[in-house]
Amino acid sequence: MTELFLMPGKLSLADLEKLYWEQPRFRLSPACHSRVTMSAAHVQTAVNGEVAVYGVNTGFGKLAQTRIDSGQVETLQRNLVLSHCCGVGEPLESPETRLMIALKLASLGRGASGVSLRIIQLLEDMLARDVLPVIPGQGSVGASGDLAPLAHMAAVMIGEGEAYWEGERVSGARALESAGLQPITLQAKEGLALLNGTQFSTALALAGLFKVRRAAAASLVTGAMSVDAAMGSIAPFRAEIHQLRGQPGQIEVARHLRSLLDGSDIVEAHQGENCLKVQDPYCLRCQPQVLGACFDVLDQATGVLLREANAVTDNPLVLQNGEIISGGNFHAQPVAFAADQIAMAACEIGSIAERRLALLTDPGLSDLPAFLTSKPGLNSGFMIAHVTAAALVSENKQRAYPASVDTIPTSANQEDHVSMAAHGARRLFAMSDNLNRIIGIELLAAAQGIDFRMPLRTSPPLSQVHGLLRKTVSVLENDRYMASDIDAAAALIARDAVALTAGIVRSESPSVSQN
C-alpha cells in the first residue's frame, strides 16, 4: 500500500475524505519536523525557568496557580491523562478513530504544541499497525478541547487504557506490545497537548458532513426522478430564473436538474401545449431554492471544518520566538455551529424528499395509481413506506435542534461557557442514516412511478440509476416484505452509487491555506 505524506496546515477536503473513506497509510511530511523539534526545545527551556507557564510547570484548569516542581513533570503529565479518562458510551468506529488521530497529528505537526517528534512517530506507527484506541463517544462538552475522548487516545500511548488490535478489544499495553511498539513517558506539556484540541468533535463533524453531502447529491437524482414520475414541469429549472436571484447553490441545483432530465421521453411527451399543469407543488418546483440553500449551508460548514482540520487547537501555544501563550483555541464553538448547520441541512433535504414521496403516492396529485400499486385495495403498495419516511423526517426534526445554544459550566466555573460541539457532531450519524433511508424510499417510489410511465422512457442518466436499482430491487408488482428493499436503496445512497451513476460530481468546497 502506498504511504501518503501529508503537510500540516495544508490538508485539502480531498485529503480528509480519502483519510475517512479509504483509511490509507500515511505520515506527516518530514518538512514539518524541524518546527516540531524547535517547539519542544522551547518547552524544555520553560521547564528549567522560573516563570510560571500554564500546563508546563503548573497544574491545570482551576489548579493553574499551583506550581509543580521540575522533578514531578512526568508524573504531572501521566496523572493528567489518567484523570481525564472519564469517557462513557459506545466507542467510535475505526474510520472516525483514525480520522481523529490524523487530525491530532496534523495539529501537532504545525510545531506550536511543544511535543517531541517521538509523540508524532508513535501515533503514526499506531495507525500504520492498526492499534486503535477505544474512544468512548460521550464525555466531551467541547470547551477545553475534547478532553475525555482524547485522553483515552493518549492513555494507550503510555500503555494504559484499551485498544482494538486485530479485531479484539485488549489493554493498551497488550496492543502496543503485540504491534511491536513501546509505550512512552510523557514529558512537559505533552499530555496537555494531546488532550487539548477539537479533533474528536471535528472528526465526527467531518464524518457527518461527508455522509450528508452524499445524501444531498443523491437527492438531486431522486428529485429529478420524482419530477419525471409525476410528469412535472421543467420550466421552473430554467437558468434565467435562478440567475436573477444569484444564489450559487440554487443555480447549481437547477443546472443539475436540467442536465438530469435532458433527453427524457416523459418530459417531451407533456411539454408545451401538451402540458396541462400550470404550477407544480413546491416540493417539485422549488427544489433549486430549497436544495440550493442546503448546498450553500453545507459548503459554508465545509469551509469551517476544513480550516479547523488544519488548525492548532491545544493550549498553551508555543510561538516561533519561544513565547508560550495561554489562550482559548480549544473552544469548539466554530465546530458546534458547523455541526448545527449540517444537521439543519440534513433535516430539510429529507423533509422536502418526503413531500415528493407523498405527492407520488397520492393519485390526486400525481395521476399515478394510488400508493404506486396497480392493484390498490388488495395491495397497500408504498403506503407504509411513506409512513416510515415521515417518521424518519420527524425524528431528524427533533435531532436538528441546535446544540450550540446549550452550555453548562464545568471545572469549578473556570470553563464557564462550553460549545457542545461533540453533541452536535455525534448526532449527525443517526441523522445521516435516517436521511439515506428517506432518500432511498424516494428512489424506490420514483423508480416505480417511472415504470408506470412506460413505454415512455426517462432520461439517459436517470435510466442508468433506474437500472442500478433494478439490479437489486425488482418492480413492486404485489405487496411483499419491503424492509430489505429500503435497506438496499439506502445502501446505494450511502456508498454514493446513485450520484456517481447519474454523473453528479460536486466541486470541492473552499480550500485552506495556512503558513
What is the CB-side half-sphere exposure of residue 485 using CA atoms within 13 A? 22
Confirm whether 401 is a catalytic residue.
no
What cell was used for 136? 468512548
**Of residues 20, 54, 282, 401, which has the active-site annotation?**
54
What is the CB-side half-sphere exposure of residue 121 using CA atoms within 13 A? 11
DSSP 417-444: ----HHHHHHHHHHHHHHHHHHHHHHHH
Q: In the 3-class helix/strand/coil scheme, how is 314-377 assigned residue by residue? A: CCCEECCCCCEECCCCCCCHHHHHHHHHHHHHHHHHHHHHHHHHHHHHCHHHHCCCHHHCCCEC
In whole angstroms, how far apart are CA 207 and each of 201, 318, 366? 10, 30, 37
**Residue 89 region by backbone torsions, left for phi larger than 0, else alpha for psi between -120 and 50, else beta:** left
DSSP 382-417: THHHHHHHHHHHHHHHHHTS-STT----BTTTTB--
Distance CA 239, CA 250 (A): 10
CB atoms within 10 A of CB 168: 10
In whole angstroms, how far apart are CA 304 and each of 13, 159, 338, 511, 513? 11, 35, 7, 10, 13
DSSP code for 161: S
CA 411 to chain centre: 29
- 3-class DSSP state for residue 195? helix
**Residue 409 region by backbone torsions, left for phi larger than 0, else alpha for psi between -120 and 50, else beta:** beta
> Which neighbouring-strand residues pair with 4?
26
Give Cβ neighbours of residue 12 (< 8 Å, ≥ 6 apart): 306, 508, 511, 512
**Residue 298 region by backbone torsions, left for phi larger than 0, else alpha for psi between -120 and 50, else beta:** alpha
DSSP 259-317: HHHTT-HHHHHTSGGG---S---HHHHTHHHHHHHHHHHHHHHHHHHHHHHTS---SSE
> Which neighbouring-strand residues pair with 171?
162
Distance CA 363, CA 141 (A): 49
Determine phi and psi for 513, rounding to 5 degrees.
Answer: -140, 115
Catalytic residue positions?
Answer: 54
